Structure 1
Amino acid sequence: MRSLLSALLAAHLMSLASCVYHTSSDSKVIEKVRNTEIIRQPAFQYLQQNVLEGREPVISVIGSSVTAGSGATGKTHTWIHLLSERLKAAEGLEKLIYLNHGFPGYSTKQMLAQGKVDVLREENPSIIIFETCLINDFVQNISIEESKTNIQSLVLNMQKMAPKARIIITSPNPRKENLTKNKTGSSYEDYVIETGKFIKLHGWEYVDIYSEFTKQIKASKTSMDKVMYDFVHPNDLGYAIWAKILEQYFLSDNKKEAAQE
């Protein structure tokens, strides 16, 4: 394990050294390059690197009821539990732990107003997975523009609370009905599409669970009824699909959704 982790640290130090000779006026460019390199590094390797640097491998997740796991038969069938169990098979991550902050019914507005991300200050996570609570924004008729502003504020707060953490933003799962419009004149799918564009425009790391989940059930000819507990929440099978999408992302070095120029 030491040989693998030593190689990861050496590569990390070399990437930092390449930035030493730039002037302070280039600091924003340097920061974008550094963040791009972190994003392109597979997330499981980032966790391994943290272990070598003496940090406990911790993933903090924050979001709504679909992060909490509503609809699953138990904690062991939530997407974060399934993901963590799979990641523990990677060298050096046997002691990986996760901390779940899923708040049923919460919108981005409520998350922001009640300071729900403040808990991250004490946890010092290596990675934060932020599920954007769009199901509740849609239901509560929060405009897409306000959702974007709230997401930005929440991400900035996360960066303040846990400055060393890598933040991975995800959309929620599809609902049984995604095209019906709310009082703002927007559909749930509109929320996912428009906030996804906004997130990528800022160069933040993003996994579109909504689209990939939809693609996978269509490819397997599986009906939504078989993967959903109710109109909104996945069942055990649905959460297993969600976990698999994230597992593939964590193990991949081809981050098509991340580091937009």
Structure 2
Amino acid sequence: MKKIVVINIISLVILFLFTALFQLQIQKNTLESLSELKAPDTKVIKAETKSETKDQSTEDRRVVLLIGSSVTQGAGASAPQKSWAGLLNAHLSEQHPDLIFLNLGVGGYTTQDIVNSSLKITSNLIAENLTPDIIIFENCLINDFQQLTLIQSMKNIKTVVSKLGVQFPEAKIYVIPPNDVTVYTNRLSAEGLSYQDYVKEVGEYINTQDWNYVNFWKIFEKEVAKRKVTLEDTLVEDGKHPNDTGYDIWFEALKKQIDFSDL
């Protein structure tokens, strides 16, 4: 019995350290982007001739902002670069070398946490001369499902989208669901909804608001079938967070549905 307890404690410590490393990486990436702006606002880049130069201010740079929970943060991936956010960053950076990519995904966050915390951070971005061109809001239902009612989730999402619209009126805002999971199999919300129905109900509400809702689940499912894998094969052992395969499929599905030509 003591041996089992010790093993469980060690497992929890390892899980905590792994999660902490992801959070530190996200914070490091964000701080690097912010600190870069503290340097001179102009940068000399190569022009068509050696004698020509072009000044590029931070206002000309493209900015992509992500907001969400652990699956936006990248939990489950073998490295931050393997998450859907990391893959998207690499993809967009090829086209826009000066891209500023800010990931505010935080493990465990619900839509209420986004309202209480993330929106305070986004309100400070303007002071840092960071105005997003594209905002992708992963709606955190992966955590809301067992903690908030359907109405609370809908209300919070409306608050988030509305406030982001006020903060960044020129930004294109996309709302996306989290991934499908197996951890909630046979579990119901307090209102008697399955996880899949919970996500579906919120998605239908979002569509009634005429927002940009990117429900990538159907494309995800087709890609899963195409690769001849199962949903379980796209998740780590917790049955909740995607593994590298899951994040790769998520990225490919997302890329097909979001218009990044706005950058």
| Distance (whole Å) between structure 1 residues aligned to residue 120 and residue 135 of structure 2 | 13
Equivalent position of 2:109 in the other structure:
106
Does structure 1 residue 160 correspond to structure 2 residue 166? Answer: yes
Contact 1:172 1:210 in 2 (8 A): no
Contact 1:120 1:162 in 2 (8 A): no
Contact 2:235 2:242 in 1 (8 A): yes
Structure 2 CA distance for partners of 1:239 and 1:105, relative to 1, 3 Å: same
Contact 1:129 1:170 in 2 (8 A): yes
Contact 1:227 1:236 in 2 (8 A): yes
TM-score, normalised to structure 1's length? 0.70
Contact 1:117 1:161 in 2 (8 A): no
Q: For 1:235-254, what aligned pairs fall within 5 Å after superposition?
A: 235-250=243-258
Does structure 1 residue 185 correspond to structure 2 residue 192? Answer: yes
Identity of aligned residues (%): 35
- Three-state SS of the structure 1 residue aligned to 2:197 is helix
- Three-state SS of the structure 2 residue aligned to 1:88 is helix
Equivalent position of 2:235 in the other structure:
228
Contact 1:72 1:78 in 2 (8 A): yes
TM-score, normalised to structure 2's length? 0.69
| Distance (whole Å) between structure 1 residues aligned to residue 221 and residue 213 of structure 2 | 17
| Distance (whole Å) between structure 1 residues aligned to residue 206 and residue 60 of structure 2 | 28
- Three-state SS of the structure 2 residue aligned to 1:130 is strand
| Distance (whole Å) between structure 2 residues aligned to residue 245 and residue 182 of structure 1 | 27
| Distance (whole Å) between structure 2 residues aligned to residue 198 and residue 179 of structure 1 | 24
Q: For 1:61-140, what aligned pairs fall within 5 Å after superposition?
A: 61-90=66-95, 93-112=96-115, 114-121=116-123, 122=125, 123-140=130-147
Contact 2:62 2:98 in 1 (8 A): yes
| Distance (whole Å) between structure 2 residues aligned to residue 251 and residue 125 of structure 1 | 15
**Offset of residue 251 of structure 1:** 5.1
Structure 2 CA distance for partners of 1:212 and 1:103, relative to 1, 3 Å: same
Structure 2 CA distance for partners of 1:54 and 1:124, relative to 1, 3 Å: closer
**TM-superposition CA deviations, 1:195-249 (whole Å, max 9, x none):** 1111111111111133332332134321223211121100111111111112222
Query: Counterpart amino acid of 2:244?
Result: D
- Three-state SS of the structure 1 residue aligned to 2:135 is strand
Q: Identify unmatched segments of 5+ residues in structure 1.
A: 1-50, 254-261
Equivalent position of 1:151 in the other structure:
157
Equivalent position of 2:211 in the other structure:
204
Structure 2 CA distance for partners of 1:104 and 1:217, relative to 1, 3 Å: same
| Distance (whole Å) between structure 2 residues aligned to residue 192 and residue 210 of structure 1 | 10
**TM-superposition CA deviations, 1:36-60 (whole Å, max 9, x none):** xxxxxxxxxxxxxxx9x95311100
Equivalent position of 2:177 in the other structure:
171
Q: For 1:5-44, what aligned pairs fall within 5 Å after superposition?
A: none
**TM-superposition CA deviations, 1:129-151 (whole Å, max 9, x none):** 000000101121x1112211110
**TM-superposition CA deviations, 1:137-184 (whole Å, max 9, x none):** 1121x1112211110011111112222211011010000145631222
**Offset of residue 73 of structure 1:** 1.2
Over the aligned positions, Cα root-mean-square deviation in angstroms equals 2.3
Structure 2 CA distance for partners of 1:210 and 1:233, relative to 1, 3 Å: same
Contact 1:148 1:195 in 2 (8 A): yes
Query: Counterpart amino acid of 2:249?
Result: I
Query: Counterpart amino acid of 1:192?
Result: V
Aligned positions, number: 199
Query: Counterpart amino acid of 1:65?
Result: S
- Three-state SS of the structure 2 residue aligned to 1:158 is helix
Structure 2 CA distance for partners of 1:148 and 1:160, relative to 1, 3 Å: same
Question: Which structure has the larger Rg over C-alpha atoms?
Answer: 2
- Three-state SS of the structure 2 residue aligned to 1:250 is coil
Structure of higher RCO (CA pairs closer than 8 Å, 6+ residues apart): 1
Structure 2 CA distance for partners of 1:251 and 1:136, relative to 1, 3 Å: same
